[in-house]
């Protein structure tokens, strides 16, 4: 098997995707700093103090050499080592060293302070961004999640936020430090010798030319490397999720071969990318050494001719070494900044996603019905619900929640080009069980999505207890409904908490009662910690049937007037199905129930069965009526019967 690439190479040389609107992204990112204005000013001051301390401290080398060491050497040579320094000279030397130490210590303290303050600003900013991201995500419509993959959304919270963290906590400060260092060092170099400064600039131009050429050569391979990493990670994730299928079909060798191909592509791209980027630093380092040596030689010649002092030359050489290093770093940082801004732009694009629009004004309230039949609002949970409907004239009417649902010539498509439901009309009276059957893609689940207002209909009307559902607030509408989906999702937490998810104010008695109604109580009590058993990994420590029973119990505790069962028993075996049939009957009693049927034997007692085909209702009636018609339902039912 091909070997795995060891790493990504120097990250600073890995070019990221450039942001499309850099100025707008920077302005928006800086808007998060508004509450940290004072800290940002302090950070800038401390960065300046820290950087200038390094620049100024180096200049004291000239003073020490020219004012103290050179006279000492000359006096030693002329006087055989006697009277090396007068007391006054020694005092001046000590004062200079102490001043130099204080400057460097103040620089070190300033560096510590700006690093701590910058950490506070960066973590606080990222806290606000993550909080805003999650809050906005919860307000996005279902359509957004249907058109964006989970991996794409997760990358905003991981990769994009991580690159942003790197820029806020390190890159920006390094950039400012580099700019101040280069500027201060350049001024000091010109002060000592403009000729030697010109020489250093010539060498720097050669270095930048080589760096640009190598970075350009490696750029396309870094792009290939990132694509290859994504392919390898995606393949590994897919194989982990599908291990049972891999083993059942003895696909291990083919899976390893597929991984080897992707791993080989990653290895090749990483090798090519890093072969250029890894040689950059040695080349730059050696050129820097050559520049230092040439500068020292030229400076020595100038010193012999009295054009520069020994102390000035030593300081200049130190500055020349300092000058090239931050320029190279600043050039490298721009790639990281562009990549971070591109990540920020993707985050802001998610934050700019249109939230779910809710123009409803009819609300769901706790109510009680008085002896004269009038309805009044109450804060107590009475089990009696009503729609509070304010009108333009200031009056308010209260309509009991019964669960009557009507589709009136509904036309819908997820995209305008593809219509899923074509002129659908149906009526469900309160307490009735309505079943939908049909082939995959016929539009069964779409109908339930419209009842929940996961999507709004462009044509036609849907009425709930005679009220257009567009007038009902979405949260109130969905509180009056409960769904049991084919794909059961359980959250990390106890069994008790997962059932309570259906109604957060439910107490232990309500939770146990709901579990009993779903016939889940027996298996729950036989779990290691009963209702306090922890569930992880979407309930992986339970069987599929047990997970489905918990989902049914979660719907039962919500106690809604309308219940939607989207192939809720498809993952339950025949024995478990028989076990919960009585509990399901109790759960459905007195409620309007919409059932998407997987097993036609479970809907024989439905008051109405709708047979859908290509977005149209082609047959409707009860079980006996449809069997007598010997149409599509008859063919489906007899086929199921023969298979069973």
Q: What is the 3-state secondary structure (H, E, C) of 477-516?
A: HHHCEEEECCCCCCCCEEHHHHHHCCCCCCCHHHHHHHHH
Q: Give the model's pLDDT for residue 72.
A: 67
Shared domain check, 162 and 32: yes
**Is residue 221 in some structural domain?**
yes
Q: Is the predicted pLDDT of residue 43 greater than 70, yes or no?
A: yes
Which of the listed ranges 132-141, 216-225, 300-309, 326-335 does the model predict with the highest average pLDDT? 132-141
Q: Is the predicted pLDDT of residue 644 greater than 70, yes or no?
A: no
Last residue of one domain, picked from the residues 165, 192, 219 = 192
Closest CA to 594 of 432, 465, 467, 478: 432
Q: Is the predicted pLDDT of residue 82 greater than 70, yes or no?
A: no
Q: Which two tokens stand for residue 365?
A: 């309230």
Shared domain check, 379 and 523: no
Last residue of one domain, picked from the residues 379, 400, 421 = 400
Binning pLDDT at 50, 70 and 90, where does residue 468 land?
very high
Tens digit of pLDDT for each residue in 374-425? 888 888 878 788 999 999 888 899 999 888 889 999 999 888 888 899 989 9
Shared domain check, 133 and 32: yes
Q: Which of 11-20, 75-84, 304-313 has the lowest mean pLDDT?
A: 11-20
Last residue of one domain, picked from the residues 170, 192, 214 = 192
Shared domain check, 425 and 394: no
Tens digit of pLDDT for each residue in 579-634? 666 656 667 777 888 888 767 767 888 888 888 888 888 988 888 898 888 888 88
**Is residue 339 in some structural domain?**
no
Shared domain check, 582 and 462: yes
A 10 A CB-CB count for 103 gives 20
Rounded to an integer, the average pLDDT of 238-242 is 76
CATH of the domain at 91: 1.20.1560.10
3-state secondary structure of 16: coil
**Is residue 350 in some structural domain?**
no
Tens digit of pLDDT for each residue in 487-501? 778 888 899 999 998
Closest CA to 451 of 482, 496, 430: 482
Q: Give the model's pLDDT for residue 78.
A: 56
Q: Which of 286-290, 351-355, 376-380 has the lowest mean pLDDT?
A: 286-290
Shared domain check, 424 and 573: yes
CB 435 within 8 A of CB 321: no
Shared domain check, 100 and 27: yes
Binning pLDDT at 50, 70 and 90, where does residue 151 land?
low
Q: Give the model's pLDDT for residue 408.
A: 92
| Long-range Cβ contact pairs of 628-633 (< 8 A, separation 24 or more) | 633/437, 633/600, 633/609
Q: Give the model's pLDDT for residue 641.
A: 42
Binning pLDDT at 50, 70 and 90, where does residue 576 land?
low
Shared domain check, 112 and 200: no
Shared domain check, 411 and 295: no
Q: Give the model's pLDDT for residue 10.
A: 36
Which of the listed ranges 141-145, 360-364, 558-562 does the model predict with the highest average pLDDT? 360-364
A 10 A CB-CB count for 510 gives 17
CATH of the domain at 443: 3.40.50.300
Shared domain check, 432 and 391: no
**Is residue 538 in some structural domain?**
yes
3-state secondary structure of 372: coil
Q: Is the predicted pLDDT of residue 566 greater than 90, yes or no?
A: no
Shared domain check, 373 and 282: no
- CA–CA distances in Å: residue 180 to residues 111, 323, 337, 436: 14, 11, 18, 71
**Is residue 273 in some structural domain?**
yes
Q: Give the model's pLDDT for residue 105.
A: 93
Q: Which two tokens stand for residue 170?
A: 């390190």
**Is residue 326 in some structural domain?**
no
Domain with 372, as residue range(s), is 363-400
Q: Is the predicted pLDDT of residue 261 greater than 60, yes or no?
A: yes
Rounded-to-integer distance, Cα 251 and Cα 381, Å: 56
- With tokens 């899976």, the residue in question is 255
Q: Which residue has the higher pLDDT, 104 or 337?
A: 104
Q: Give the model's pLDDT for residue 16.
A: 44
Shared domain check, 639 and 507: yes
**Is residue 41 in some structural domain?**
yes
Q: Give the model's pLDDT for residue 74.
A: 66
Tens digit of pLDDT for each residue in 183-209? 888 888 888 888 888 988 888 888 778
Binning pLDDT at 50, 70 and 90, where does residue 88 land?
low
Average pLDDT score over the chain? 81
Q: Give the model's pLDDT for residue 439.
A: 80
Domain count for the chain = 4
Q: Give the model's pLDDT for residue 109.
A: 94
Q: Give the model's pLDDT for residue 134.
A: 92
**Is residue 5 in some structural domain?**
no
* Share of residues in the chain with pLDDT > 90 (%): 14
Q: Is the predicted pLDDT of residue 573 greater than 50, yes or no?
A: yes
């Amino acid at each position: 098997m091909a070997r795995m690439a060891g790493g990504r190479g120097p990250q600073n040389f890995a070019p990221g995707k450039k942001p499309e609107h850099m100025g707008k992204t920077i302005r928006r990112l800086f808007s998060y700093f508004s509450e940290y204005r004072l800290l940002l000013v302090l950070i800038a001051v401390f960065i300046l103090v820290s950087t200038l301390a390094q620049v100024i401290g180096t200049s004291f080398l000239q003073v020490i050499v020219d004012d103290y060491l050179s006279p000492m050497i000359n006096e030693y040579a002329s006087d055989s080592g006697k009277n090396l320094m007068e007391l006054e000279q020694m005092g001046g030397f000590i004062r200079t060293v102490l001043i130099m130490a204080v400057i460097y210590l103040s620089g070190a303290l300033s560096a510590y302070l700006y690093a701590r303050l910058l950490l506070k600003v960066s973590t606080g900013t990222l806290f606000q961004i993550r909080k805003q991201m999650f809050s906005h995500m919860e307000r996005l419509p279902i359509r957004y999640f249907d058109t964006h993959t989970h991996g794409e959304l997760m990358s905003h919270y991981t990769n994009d936020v991580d690159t942003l963290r790197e820029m806020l906590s390190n890159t920006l400060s390094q950039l400012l430090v580099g700019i101040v260092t280069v500027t201060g060092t350049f001024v000091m170099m010109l002060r000592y010798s403009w000729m030697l400064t010109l020489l250093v600039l010539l060498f720097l131009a050669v270095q930048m030319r080589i760096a640009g050429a190598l970075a350009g050569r490696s750029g396309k391979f870094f792009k290939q490397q990132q694509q290859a990493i994504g392919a390898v990670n995606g393949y590994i994730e897919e194989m982990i999720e599908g291990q049972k299928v891999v083993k059942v079909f003895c696909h291990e060798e083919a899976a390893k071969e597929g991984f080897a191909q992707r791993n080989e592509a990653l290895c090749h791209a990483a090798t090519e990318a890093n072969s250029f980027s890894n040689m950059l630093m040695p080349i730059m380092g050696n050129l820097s050494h050559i520049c230092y040596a040439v500068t020292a030689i030229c400076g020595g010649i100038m010193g012999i001719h009295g054009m520069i002092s020994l102390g000035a030359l030593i300081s200049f050489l130190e500055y020349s070494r300092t000058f090239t290093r931050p320029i190279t770093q600043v050039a490298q940082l721009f790639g990281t900044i562009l990549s971070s801004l591109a990540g920020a732009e993707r985050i802001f694009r998610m934050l700019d996603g249109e939230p779910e629009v809710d123009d409803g004004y009819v609300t769901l309230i706790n109510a009680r019905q008085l002896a004269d039949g009038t309805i009044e609002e109450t804060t107590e949970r009475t089990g009696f619900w009503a729609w509070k409907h304010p009108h333009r004239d200031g009056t308010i009417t209260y309509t009991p929640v019964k669960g009557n649902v009507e589709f009136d010539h509904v036309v819908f498509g997820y995209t305008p080009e593809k219509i899923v439901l074509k002129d659908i009309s149906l009526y469900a009276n309160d307490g009735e069980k309505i079943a939908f059957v049909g082939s995959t893609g016929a539009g069964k689940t779409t109908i339930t999505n419209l009842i929940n207002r996961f999507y709004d209909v462009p044509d036609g009307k849907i009425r709930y207890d005679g009220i257009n559902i567009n007038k009902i607030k979405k949260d109130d509408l969905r509180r009056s409904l409960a769904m049991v989906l084919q794909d059961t999702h359980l959250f990390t937490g106890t069994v008790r908490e997962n059932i309570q998810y259906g109604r957060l104010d439910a107490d232990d008695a309500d939770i146990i009662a709901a579990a009993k109604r779903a016939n889940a109580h027996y298996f729950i009590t036989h779990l290691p910690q009963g209702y306090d058993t922890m569930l992880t990994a979407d309930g992986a420590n339970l069987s599929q049937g047990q997970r489905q029973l918990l989902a049914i119990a979660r719907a039962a505790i919500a106690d809604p007037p309308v219940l939607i069962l989207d192939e809720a028993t498809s993952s339950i075996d025949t024995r478990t199905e028989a076990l919960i049939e009585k509990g399901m009957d109790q759960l459905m009693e007195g409620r309007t129930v919409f059932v998407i049927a997987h097993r036609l034997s479970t809907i024989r007692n439905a008051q109405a069965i709708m047979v859908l085909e290509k977005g149209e209702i082609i047959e409707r009636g009860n079980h006996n009526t449809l069997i007598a018609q010997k149409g599509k339902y008859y063919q489906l039912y007899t086929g199921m019967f023969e298979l069973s």
